[in-house]
Structure 1
């Protein structure tokens, strides 16, 4: 197996004999850049790191260039009012909005219910025609975001899936690693969905092996992802590494984009946006950049 990458990259692989495909990811520098955009407390940093790692794995499942995956939490009565991450062509971004006072009342490791209340996770796939846009929604239940996403594939897609994510936010740098494995019986990928037995011996074997991965294995930068896959699955099966795609922080905010968004508003709304100093101030939640647009420069 070729040494493709140690960090900041998604890795595609398959286990042909068991009709399984998967993604492995480990993020470091790109994760630091996303987390440092705001002064997040440790609990929120860990949650966002997990969400970004999940977004990278799910986004890398998309085959067409220009496709986008968005992961967004819809919450009610929780500490967090907004969590949003997306992936496009290897570019990642993420943001969490939360109530600091309510978070301070929580234990060091708050539950998913405490963080989100009665929450739901929306997973949106934006792909070129003819696929177009599709969205799945799953309740934010269980021990982690990863468990909720795993339940989405089991419940909404009827696709046997295991997902494991580990995060290490100790010290000056953060690392997140993830493993996703799915069972696709022969002839199913890209074709009409076939009924899948969750207890099929092929899948049971792979699920046990994949589920045995440890948090340290997922986050250890010294352990190449290729070696991890070999360690987990190669004792009884051939593991094929198909491709690796680098991940970067890629907030798509810029002045031209902001001007384009403002231009879509009616003239009266644009005039209401202009402050006393004659400018419109726009803050990007994803990267904390501030853009000052002169009202006089806008086309009415």
Structure 2
């Protein structure tokens, strides 16, 4: 049964993940746009423009990848790191629609790079680690790949190709205007022909069904991804309207979600020996903990 064509309209899936499947092509995907939650995350630090762009891309990727896993306690963490680059560490994570992230970088070195430094210029020879945590130690798995390509999106494609053996296409667009920073992304994947438990039986990077889906998905333009007048379901229909069936599954609402609190830090610090906690205390007897994600300070009396 062919889905009815959605009318282009004011965005109804803003700040929300939208899932879709193409049953006849054994393909699935995710689409997401980030506005206010992205601006709230970026507001915690006075990042220069290249770092804002980098973190915005990473947060959209976290939403796309994180929404692939199920479970309220499931979490995706993406970390890009190097010891030689201008950006020393980038960390983002996603849990149940909540997003957070931060970047540690050398400001003086960044200022020498110009307005639009490349990914390789920012990181040098770094690596990308993606961790899927499905709620327990036994269900946690991580893949690590070299941080290569023109963007973090390309590095994520390499992760799925090398670590998961799943053909994947990812596109991300970021823009800044008088309203602030906005970002959007699309992920499409070809599912394996069969699975038995957790063992993948067959996945082909050159499968004819995937080649067809990839060509259509790759035709998306940045301005389409970011256009608030073109709803995400209408965008998916525009890409795949010739398919026999498109199934749309609204996903989690996206929001800034830093999990820092005095109670959390008290629990963490209580695990340290008293001698070590004494060294952490200031002259007033208080341990001050600063959250790298939200840039808040927490006075801990312990």
Aligned runs of 1:1-300 on 2, under 5 Å? 5-129=12-136, 131-188=138-195, 191-294=198-301, 298=302
Name stretches of at least 5 consecutive residues in structure 2 with no aligned partner: none
> How far did 1:131 drift?
4.9
- Verify the 8 A CA contact 1:150 1:161 in the aligned structure 2: yes
Contact residue 17 and residue 253 of structure 2 kept, 8 A: yes
Distance 1:164 1:190, change over 3 A: farther
Q: Any conservation in 2 of the 1:71–1:123 contact (CA below 8 Å)?
A: yes
| Stretches of structure 1 lacking an aligned partner (at least 5 in a row) | none
Q: Distance in 2 between matches of 1:182 and 1:149?
A: 12
* Contact 1:26/1:176, CA 8 A, preserved across alignment: yes
Deviation at 1:288, TM superposition (A): 1.0
Instruction: Answer yes or no: is the 8 Å Cα contact 1:20–1:185 preserved in 2.
Output: no
Classify the secondary structure of the residue corresponding to 2:164: coil
8 A Cα contact 1:6 1:222, kept in partner: no
State TM-score, norm by structure 2: 0.93
Q: Distance in 2 between matches of 1:181 and 1:188?
A: 19
Q: Distance in 2 between matches of 1:189 and 1:84?
A: 33
CA–CA distance in structure 1, aligned partners of residues 27 and 196 of structure 2: 10
* TM-score computed with the length of structure 1 as normaliser: 0.94
Task: Give secondary structure in 2 for the equivalent of 1:223.
Answer: coil
**CA–CA distance in 2 between the matches of 1:168 and 1:90?**
22
